[in-house]
Structure 1
Amino acid sequence: MSGDELPLLEYAAIEAAARLIEGDVVRTPTVVSTGLSELLGVPVTVKLELLQRTGSFKTRGAAAKLRSLDDAERAAGVVAVSGGNHGIAVAAMAAALGVKATIVMPRSAPRRAVDIAGRHGAAVQLTTDVTEAFALGVRLQSEGLMLIHPFDDPDVVAGQGTVGRELAEDAGPLTDVLVSIGGGGLISGIAVALRALRPGVRIWGVETEGSESMARALAAGGPVPIVPSSVVTTLSPPAVAPLTYAHTRALVDDVLVVTDAEAVRGTLELADAAKVWTEPAAGCLLPAARRVIERVGGDCRLGLVLCGGNATVTDVLAWADRFGVDRG
């Protein structure tokens, strides 16, 4: 199934998710960034989802899904496949609800993410790569665990869509919103919310080279498998889902692809100009923002969803050295 024939979420599902998870998540700040506005030469508003519980937006979708399970499903235990942030979020939320969780991650996942998931009481299993991780997740699901998919689930997408609901309600005038894409759950949910509440806003997805699964899906007319090679493991599924492809194709204006080096440079620029520490999954928005300004002109007003901050200083500086990115 390509995804073209799949029904899109209604905005009512996002409103319902917002009510369901209200006690589990933080309404993160939406603020005008003077530093980024000066850097880019246009007004810039940021949604600081890196201040969310567990350090990323993933808590929203994990909470929405876990809260939607019945008693028998919770008793069976859950399994999640993750490049980092989703695993942390599911482990933390499962612990809060007294649900046994297994988190499957590729060995390329940040060590910090593995450690945090384990500290929340989850059983962490590491695999050779992300493709093997998803295969193991499906096998554990077949053995009776409830799969909390990072993006191929309407409940998860609705939970992530609460980011867009808050952005639409809290931001001033915007012409363009930029959102990172891994599996596409975040941009799918945000796009549903913005099309309902800010229908005139242009929506741009951003991926990194080596993990551009959505850009390839759009070019091919449906999801296609890839072998992720980007250092940005939190944006590196082996394919997007028909569900998220359908939403992106219908609701998103375009998907831009930047290099790993640009994403790492963007992380350092965000620290310098915006005074926030993000991960490259958010840092990739800055080079993409410059491309958007070139395409739409200098009268735009940008909104950037800074999706997470779960990268260590050591990791980011090591990547900067690897790609020859100036730290200053």
Structure 2
Amino acid sequence: MIGIGDVEAAAEVIAGYVVRTPTLPSPGLTGLLGVPVTVKLELLQRTGSFKARGATAKLLSLTDGERAAGVVAVSGGNHGIAFAVMAAALDVKATVVMPRTASARSIEIAQATGASVRLTDDMAGAFALVERLQDEGLTLVHPFDDPLIIAGQGTVGLEFAADAGELTDVLVSIGGGGLISGVATAMRGLRPDVRIWGVETEGAQAVSQALAAGGPVTVDLSSVVTTLSAPSASPLTYEHVSALVHEVLVVPDRDAVQGTLDLADHAKVWAEPAAGCLLPAARQVLERVGEGVRLGLVVCGGNATTRDVMRWADRFGLH
């Protein structure tokens, strides 16, 4: 497992390349949920999500030989965007592998950087293709199974711990577990009494199923929230979550999309369902914990178009 020192080292390395995103009290969400709410607005990060942090930390660690041979990443959207943009900024040849279910906007942004974009039928196929490309000599920049990636994502928690007022509970979205592993490392290192809650959507439950099974397992993916759709956790993220996270909550896709609409209406931010899922999960936390809660929400990304969200809202009958 990484430690707080690894996260602090990553913060120094990436400081010139990423944004220290705002940490603010949210009067709108405080009114909606009935308890004090503070948000970490990582959707304002470079490339529209926290993923730029880990990608930059990994890319800056490459040897000259690795840079020359090129790098590859697999992604449902946000990691691919961040990886492609930051690789172009650092003049590293990049290949991005995405499932066809990734949003058209994510694919377009990755292509616009000059990266080679390879599409597969599903996420399992994307990971399989990446393994073949590694055999051809490309260096993998994994979305979560890498200590440097986790440390880079952990800088979100480092900033949140430093900039927020009093917090009792922090909610973090989970795909493969890289963000929550890093945030939990930082938050528990600096604020050991804060409870960390993970949030997944139904049909993208790699970490909760790993916890139930006692280790990583391959899961069936059916969630519309492709940015949280990892086919499995890794031993590394499983170890961090099982040691540092209070509980992993699961919410339906419909509630995650409603959460996106609520964030727009009440917090005045345009997030994606990977962040929208935090609001229904926050209600679960309030039911479990009771009085005295002071919530922190990591609003992880905003790379969903208005068309995407309206299409999902129509699908689930949200008006």
TM score, norm. by length of structure 2? 0.99
Query: Does 2:52 correspond to 1:52?
Result: no
The equivalences for 1:132-143 within 5 A come to 132-143=125-136
The residue aligned with 2:241 is 248
C-alpha distance in 2 between matches for 1:224 and 1:325 = 33
User: How far off its partner does 1:147 sit?
Assistant: 0.3
Q: Work out which of the residue numbers 163, 176, 185 in structure 1 matches 2:178.
A: 185
Percent identical pairs in the alignment equals 70
C-alpha distance in 1 between matches for 2:192 and 2:234 = 24
The residue type paired with residue 136 of structure 1 is: L
C-alpha distance in 2 between matches for 1:140 and 1:39 = 47
C-alpha distance in 2 between matches for 1:138 and 1:170 = 40
User: How far off its partner does 1:316 sit?
Assistant: 0.5
Query: Does 2:125 correspond to 1:114?
Result: no
The equivalences for 1:26-37 within 5 A come to 26-37=19-30
Query: Does 2:22 correspond to 1:17?
Result: no
The residue aligned with 1:302 is 295
The residue aligned with 2:69 is 76
Runs (4+) off by over 3 Å: none
The residue aligned with 2:88 is 95
- How many aligned positions are there? 319
C-alpha distance in 1 between matches for 2:151 and 2:170 = 18
- Unmatched segments (≥5 aa) in structure 1: 1-7
User: How far off its partner does 1:138 sit?
Assistant: 1.1
Instruction: Note the alpha carbon deviations across 1:177-223, whole angstroms, 9 max, x for none.
Output: 00000000000000000111000000000000001111100000000
C-alpha distance in 1 between matches for 2:291 and 2:307 = 36
Q: Work out which of the residue numbers 298, 302, 308 in structure 2 matches 1:315.
A: 308
The equivalences for 1:83-232 within 5 A come to 83-232=76-225
The residue type paired with residue 152 of structure 1 is: D
C-alpha distance in 1 between matches for 2:108 and 2:10 = 29
User: How far off its partner does 1:65 sit?
Assistant: 0.2
Instruction: Note the alpha carbon deviations across 1:260-309, whole angstroms, 9 max, x for none.
Output: 00000000000000000000000000000001011101310000000000
User: How far off its partner does 1:72 sit?
Assistant: 1.0
The 8 Å contact of residues 41 and 298 in structure 1, kept in 2 or not, is answered as: no
CA RMSD of aligned residues (A): 0.5
The residue aligned with 2:270 is 277
C-alpha distance in 1 between matches for 2:221 and 2:17 = 32
The residue type paired with residue 240 of structure 1 is: A
The residue type paired with residue 210 of structure 2 is: A
C-alpha distance in 2 between matches for 1:197 and 1:313 = 37
| Structure 1 residue matching 2:60: 3-state secondary structure | helix
C-alpha distance in 2 between matches for 1:213 and 1:71 = 35
TM score, norm. by length of structure 1? 0.97
| Structure 1 residue matching 2:56: 3-state secondary structure | helix
The 8 Å contact of residues 184 and 240 in structure 1, kept in 2 or not, is answered as: yes
- Unmatched segments (≥5 aa) in structure 2: none
Instruction: Note the alpha carbon deviations across 1:118-163, whole angstroms, 9 max, x for none.
Output: 0011000000000000010111011100000000000000000000
